Chains A and B, each alone.
Chain A
Amino acid sequence: MDEPTITCMSKVNYIAGKSLWQDALQRLLRNRAAMFALVFLLFMAAACFLLPLFSFIPNPNLTDLDHIAVGSSADHLLGTDHLGRDMLARVLYGGRISLLVGVAATSVAFVLGLVYGLISGYVGGRTDAVMMRFVDVLFALPFIVLVIVFSLSIEEPCRELTERVVDATGWSREAVAPILGLMPLFLAIGALGWLTLARIVRTQTLVIREQEYVQAARSLGLGHFSILFRHIAPNLLGTVIIYTTLAVPGIMLTESTLSFIGLGVKAPNSSWGTLIKEGADRMEVAPELLIYPSLFFCLTLLALNFLGDGLRDALDPKDVRD
């Protein structure tokens, strides 16, 4: 071995290697808007899911007809609505449903889009063409028609599932029904939100499939499944995370729009969308019924957008903001 070369190398001021993920994390931590958004979102989620566990947040469905649409006071921090229900409690409980549907529907879209895009791109050829034309057709269908058709047709199966779960586990119907009652909604929104993701994943898969390391894996005799999930999927993750984060606000917007037009979350559940609808109906007499839920909702969407933009800048620094 050539000794002097090694001594020479050791004198070079050596910079510790950084993985792509460490690099991205550092960039994200430096992005003030994104970090602020992240803190805000954590705070909002904590408020919606944890605060109602304390007794100073009253039952959101408790009506108090002596105090209808009063302004904020010590008893009711954000005042009461047209039935005397505590506004803060309603906004927090509404946030639970909105955030829950947002996350659940996004997860559905994430899994569907990833698997569909991976298969389409990996198999290629005629299968790919057919699968992508199917996506084209779904894209050309008016979104609202698809959501309504889909949620109406899975309403009944979901109700049956609720009964089965109640029978099988012995949990009370009151505990299970509100969550499972939301299933048609987030399944429908999620099942339609995957289209763009599937296209993105497919395009990336087509590129990665031809890389040398995938060929190497194949020549080593790895099965399709391991190649897909060990070698291709991890390399798509950056793109997929960026897109998924940016899709959450859109999906929450869809939920609230559906709830606003009376097709989404149904009473006694309420989401930010239904609260905004109730507020909009009474805005001439009590504008704060519109203002509070809108404020919570819009700020959350803003934060999600900033976080998504931050993630994109962090994971894909070459890409310019669109």
Chain B
Amino acid sequence: MMRFLAKRVMQGVVVLFVLETVTFFLVRVLPGNPFMGDRKLPDEVLAQLNSLYGLDASSFVQYARYWKAILVEGDFGPSLVREGVQVSEIIGSAFPVSLALGSVAMLLAVVLGIPAGMLAAHYRNRWPDALFMLLAVAGICIPSFVIAPVLGITLGAHVPGLSVAGWDNPLCIVLPALALGAVNAAYVARLTRGGMVETLSSDFIRTARAKGAGTGRILWLHALRSGLLPAVSYLGPAFAALITGSFVVETCFQVPGMGLHFVNATTDRDYFLIQGLVLCYGVLIVAANLIVDVVLAWMNPRLRA
């Protein structure tokens, strides 16, 4: 197990390194520059800005400097568009928001999706199955930018206390978390159903039935452990994506999370901010996949290679 972990961590570090390298050069070949605001700057000003941020050096020198700053000083550089703000400050203020929102959304997805999938599998090809799977397909098909405004005019306008925009009280989390959680609950329900249907038709379940185990005991104790495998592999990367924010939901509900920065930093060519965000996202994805592998190995001994 330790060797497996060490190997996977090493692979993760390599992926992160390549990821950051690709991003570094990718954003620099983009046409345009970070200083192309509403008005065109005189060439002298542009040159001065470039030298101030070290963008006048060759790409490789910049690349070496960038890694040195991160590894030696833990410095992710300044934002090139928002003057005087550090990338670490931006991520530091936006990440907790997205983390909170994403965690609640994930909780919703698990609490709604897994029981729905289990029920659908238990009543396979009967009406609860059809109902839950129709709901799941609808959840996958209705985009979050339709769910969000509809939630706003229905729940948001009529339930007192729920606010449709902003991030100033704890109840603000409800609607965006619902909008984010819905689609993930739908995927989790479908995956859980698939895994459970397969498990429920296997021999050890038939043995358990023959020995007189009750329905609840079979579902929760015997089948869930291997029936949940597909959903678990989905949940890892999905959680990483959720806690790094969603542009659509954050825009619709005016939540100051990370999703906004991903889009704005890229369209603004805010090089250091993009690199910082991608690194942050990459670390979470790699960590999530690693955790998923460990959990899967724990759930299914056959996967312990």
Contact = CB atoms under 8 A, between A and B. Distances in A.
A and B assemble together: yes
Interface residues of B, number: 50
Given A260-B145, A301-B141, A142 B29 contact: no
A322 B143 contact: no
Query: What DSSP secondary structure best describes chain B's contact surface?
Result: helix
Interface in A201-224: none
B17 to A, nearest CB: 10
Contact of B262 (A144, A276, A280): A144
Interface in A104-135: 133
B281 interface: yes
B166 interface: no
B140 A305 contact: yes
B30 A149 contact: yes
B247 A261 contact: yes
A280 B252 CA distance: 9
A136 interface: yes
Contacts of A249: 140-141
A30 to B, nearest CB: 15
A306 interface: yes
Interface stretch (B73-81, B83-91, B192-200, B208-216): B192-200
Query: What DSSP secondary structure best describes chain A's contact surface?
Result: helix
Interface string B123-148: 00000000001000110111101101
Contact of B278 (A139, A145, A276, A294): A145
Contacts of B148: 280
Interface residues of A, number: 40
Given A156-B31, A321-B193, A145 B274 contact: yes
Interface string A89-105: 00000000000000000
A149 to B, nearest CB: 6
A297 B142 CA distance: 8
A320 B197 contact: yes
Contacts of A140: 15-16, 19, 281-282, 285-286
A141 B248 contact: no
Contacts of B140: 249, 301, 305
A238 B251 CA distance: 40
A261 B286 contact: no
Nearest to B281: A142
B277 interface: yes
B32 interface: yes
Interface in A251-289: 253, 256-257, 260-261, 263, 273, 276-277, 280, 283-284, 287
B31 A149 contact: no
Nearest to B197: A320
A280 B266 contact: no
A148 interface: yes
A25 interface: no
A305 B15 CA distance: 33
B119 to A, nearest CB: 15
A297 B141 CA distance: 9
A284 B230 CA distance: 41
Given A141-B19, A321-B193, A149 B27 contact: yes
Contacts of A253: 143
B26 A149 contact: yes
Interface string A11-50: 0000000000000000000000000000000000000000
B36 interface: no
A298 B267 CA distance: 29
B251 to A, nearest CB: 7
A249 B138 CA distance: 12
A51 interface: no
A152 interface: yes
B163 interface: no
Interface string A177-204: 0000000000000000000000000000
28 contacts: A139-B285, A140-B15, A140-B286, A141-B281, A144-B262, A144-B263, A145-B266, A149-B27, A149-B30, A153-B29, A153-B30, A156-B31, A249-B141, A256-B145, A273-B145, A276-B146, A277-B145, A280-B145, A280-B148, A280-B149, A294-B142, A294-B146, A298-B141, A302-B138, A321-B133, A322-B190, A322-B193, A322-B230
Q: Which 5 A-B pairs have the closest CB atoms?
A: A322-B194, A301-B141, A280-B149, A148-B266, A294-B146
